[in-house]
Structure 1
Amino acid sequence: MDDRMFRNAMGKFATGVTVITSKVGDDIHGMTANAFMSVSLNPKLITVSIDNRANMLDQIKQSNQFGVNILSESQQDISMHFAGQTKEDREINFGFIQEIPVIKDSLVSIVCDVDTSYVVGDHTLFIGKVIDIASTEGEPLTFYCGKYGINPVVS
């Protein structure tokens, strides 16, 4: 199978949208990602998958910490900004939890210390030990078949 067939098939899995954040010195970096999942309740662990060519890879390796921000349906513009899908410069006003940058008004912000990492194919999986969470009510931003906000009909 070719890469496009694989990518199209994986796009049939509806996901939420997150922005991964990290800070090294005064430099805050963020990237949009949907490769995120809960791993363990005890201890509390999550994982994110980062392309080995992404700038975020070095940020997380240097800081040994990261945040996962689950976006609300009103934050598509933020997702597009961190995915490099907009041309305009935008100032992001970050919040902080345990000194880790987070996206304000996200449905959930989870901050982690890196527990371990694994290079798998062309990505690195970072397992994060959750150190704190902030959560609010609202509807999630979704992604399906390459489009935002498309919720599959369940019959």
Structure 2
Amino acid sequence: MDDRLFRNAMGKFATGVTVITTELNGAVHGMTANAFMSVSLNPKLVLVSIGEKAKMLEKIQQSKKYAVNILSQDQKVLSMNFAGQLEKPVDVQFEELGGLPVIKDALAQISCQVVNEVQAGDHTLFIGEVTDIKITEQDPLLFFSGKYHQLAQNEKVETSS
């Protein structure tokens, strides 16, 4: 099977959009990713998958920590910024959570300490133990079939008994 068919099939799985951040030698680094998942409740573990060609790979390997910023529907431009899709980078407002830079007003911010690193094909899976969380009530930014989407706003449907 060819790479395009595989990518198209994987694109049929709707995901949220995250920006993974870390800090190394006083500099903030980030990348857009949708390869994120929760792994365990006890202990609280999450996983991010980083490609072998991504600059972020060595940053996380050196810092041994990362934050997951789950983006709200209003933060599409931040996703595009960290994916290198904008002609001019935008000014990003960061705050701090658990000693890590996180994106201000993200839907959720999750700081993690790396507890395991697994090579899997052309990616490295970083399993992180969650050290802190902050959430807000907003709608998520979604990604499906290579495009950004938002939740549909449904009107309340009344049913009769």
1:111 CA displacement: 0.2
Q: Distance in 2 between matches of 1:147 and 1:89?
A: 20
* Structure 1 residues 113-152: Cα deviation after superposition (integer angstroms, max 9, x where no partner): 0010001000000000000000010100000000001669
Counterpart secondary structure, 1:138: coil
Identical pairs, percent:
57
Counterpart secondary structure, 2:77: helix
Q: How many residues align?
A: 152
Q: Distance in 1 between matches of 2:85 and 2:35?
A: 18
Q: Does 1:141 align with 2:141?
A: yes
* Structure 1 residues 10-65: Cα deviation after superposition (integer angstroms, max 9, x where no partner): 00000000000000011111000000000000000000000011010011011100
For 2:157, the equivalent position in structure 1 comes to: none
> Normalising to structure 1: TM-score of the pair?
0.95
Q: Which aligned segments of 4 or more residues in structure 1 are displaced greater than 4 angstroms?
A: none
Task: Letter of the 1:98 partner, please give it.
Answer: G
The alignment's C-alpha RMSD in Å is 1.1
> Which structure 2 residue ranges, 5 or more long, are not aligned?
153-161
Q: Is the 8 A contact 1:14 1:151 kept in 2?
A: no
Q: Distance in 2 between matches of 1:96 and 1:111?
A: 9
> Normalising to structure 2: TM-score of the pair?
0.92
* Structure 1 residues 56-90: Cα deviation after superposition (integer angstroms, max 9, x where no partner): 00110111000000000000000000000101132
Greater Cα radius of gyration, structure 1 or 2: 2
Q: Distance in 2 between matches of 1:127 and 1:20?
A: 13
